[in-house]
């Protein structure tokens, strides 16, 4: 009769499934990492006064957002009257049709949400404003 040999158990670990799992996890983390954003409240930095506005002939149009989220514009019939973002964009569009070289600046309160500033920037972009500057306090002021 034929006698079978007894096999010894193999003491090696098969690492191929572990490598497969690690590669799948790596791909998942690489795909989801850019989607994760962290919101942190920050105080915007202060900087020295810029020469951008001084080089222009026309005074800038300043769109302001106060701490309560109300919009104001420095040109028009009443600069102290609050308006919504669509009205601000319409007023600025009219002024830019008269003088297209006029710089447009956004002056946002430090307490207003970043979303409000981006919303106003989006309305201004849709109104045809080529570029928008953001105002800050100078070191001497604050």
Residues of the domain holding 86: 47-134
Asked whether residue 79 is assigned to any structural domain, the reply reads yes
Our count of domains for the chain comes to 1
Reduced to 3 states (helix: H, G, I; strand: E, B; else coil), residue 95 is helix
pLDDT for the residue numbered 26: 95
**Residue 22: what pLDDT?**
95
Name 31's Cβ contacts closer than 8 Å, sequence gap at least 6: none
Q: What is the pTM of this model?
A: 0.54
Q: Per-residue pLDDT tens, the chain, 142 aa: give them.
A: 566 777 777 778 888 889 999 999 999 989 888 777 654 454 555 656 555 545 456 688 888 888 888 888 887 667 778 888 888 888 888 888 888 888 888 888 878 888 888 888 888 888 888 888 887 765 555 4
Helix axes 114-126, 85-98, angle to 10 degrees: 40
Classify residue 24: in a domain, yes or no. Answer: no
């Amino acid at each position: 009769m034929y006698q079978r040999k007894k096999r010894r158990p193999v003491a090696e670990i098969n690492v191929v499934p572990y490598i497969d799992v690690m590669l799948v996890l790596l791909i998942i983390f690489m795909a989801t990492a850019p989607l994760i954003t962290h919101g942190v409240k920050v105080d915007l930095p202060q900087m020295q006064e810029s020469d951008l506005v001084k080089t222009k002939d026309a005074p800038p149009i300043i769109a302001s957002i106060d701490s309560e989220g109300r919009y104001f514009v420095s040109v028009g019939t009443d600069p102290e009257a609050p308006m919504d973002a669509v009205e601000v964009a319409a007023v600025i569009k009219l002024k830019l049709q008269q003088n297209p070289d006029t710089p447009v600046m956004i002056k946002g309160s430090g307490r207003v949400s970043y979303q409000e500033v981006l919303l106003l920037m989006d309305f201004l972009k849709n109104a045809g404003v080529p570029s928008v500057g953001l105002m800050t306090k100078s070191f001497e002021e604050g």
